[in-house]
Amino acid sequence: MIRFFVDIEATGIDLDKDRIIQIALIEDNNGETKIFNDLCYTDLQMSYEAMGIHHITPDMLEDKYWPYETDAFMELEKHNSPQNYFITHGNELDVAMLKNEELDLKMKLVDTDVCSRHLLKDAEGYKLQTLRYQYGLYKKEKEFAKKLGIEELNPHDALSDAVWCYMLTELLLEKVDGNMDKLVELTHTPVLLEKVTFGKYKNEGYTFEELFKIDPGYFVWLYNRLARDWRDLEYTVEHWLKTDPYYWKKAQEERNRNSMSNLNKK
């Protein structure tokens, strides 16, 4: 079993068009670790927003290899099999960028963002840096990194993010008795959202349970407007709608009408 703790930087966040410009990973093969950290050449224009996040500029990439020619990419490719684990904080971008380079991951996926939402219910937020501070990872990160042969950690540095992802995974494993496959299962399980943090009620402090008692009709609207593009929201809204047969039926009927209307337009 090999675990890969990975962070990928890209030219932007378009999952179809953007391309990899950095691959950083920590490979843990039953306690033996290897470090890979490669900048990658690209012929795509990089967004200034992306540069503002990762601080990688086009001139830094001029003499680099294409992503698929880097040691990091080839290491992932070499061990791309179902018995190994690919671990990131937010899987979507990393998986999509690798697929754009024709590496379709067969490894088991662990998303520490999703797992944290399941297991760390008292978290103030789920960004990696928020979790780093709230759960005290920063207090032992220098010693942890030094054991891996990494001397310096910096926010928004890909290799540093891979280190914090590794540390966060160890914390999450404590919650599931060391069961990596439980984290895989949680990664693919929608999260039942608790607090309403968007829309017209975002500043009211309601939980979804409280809001459903006050305005169940809003849940019908959410189910047919926002939820279809947000897995966790759909799961949450559906959960509460199903507690009231009248509103659940109403939500389904409206979705069916919308589906038929879209078909007629085609």
One-letter amino acid of 143: E
Q: What is the pLDDT along the chain (266 residues), one digit of tens a residue?
A: 999 999 999 998 888 888 999 999 999 999 999 999 999 999 998 889 889 989 999 999 999 999 999 999 999 999 999 999 999 999 999 999 999 999 999 999 999 999 999 999 999 999 999 999 999 999 999 999 999 999 999 887 899 999 999 999 999 999 999 999 999 999 999 999 999 999 999 999 999 999 999 999 999 999 999 998 899 999 999 999 999 999 999 999 998 988 776 656 65
Q: Set out the domains of the chain in order of their start, with CATH numbers.
A: 2-187 (3.30.420.10), 199-265 (no CATH)
The confidence score (pLDDT) of residue 241 equals: 97
In the numeric block, which tokens belong to residue 254?
A: 């409206």
Q: How far apart are the first and last CA of the chain?
A: 49
The confidence score (pLDDT) of residue 156 equals: 79
The confidence score (pLDDT) of residue 259 equals: 74
pLDDT digits (tens, 9 = 90+) for 219-245: 999 999 999 889 999 999 999 999 999
SS3 245: helix
- Listed in sequence order, the residues at least 6 apart from 256 whose beta carbon sits closer than 8 Å to its beta carbon are none
pLDDT digits (tens, 9 = 90+) for 176-196: 999 999 999 999 999 999 999
Burial of 73: CB neighbours in 10 Å, binned 0-12, 13-18, 19+:
buried
DSSP 128: H
- Rounded to whole angstroms, the Cα distance separating 145 from 150 reads 5
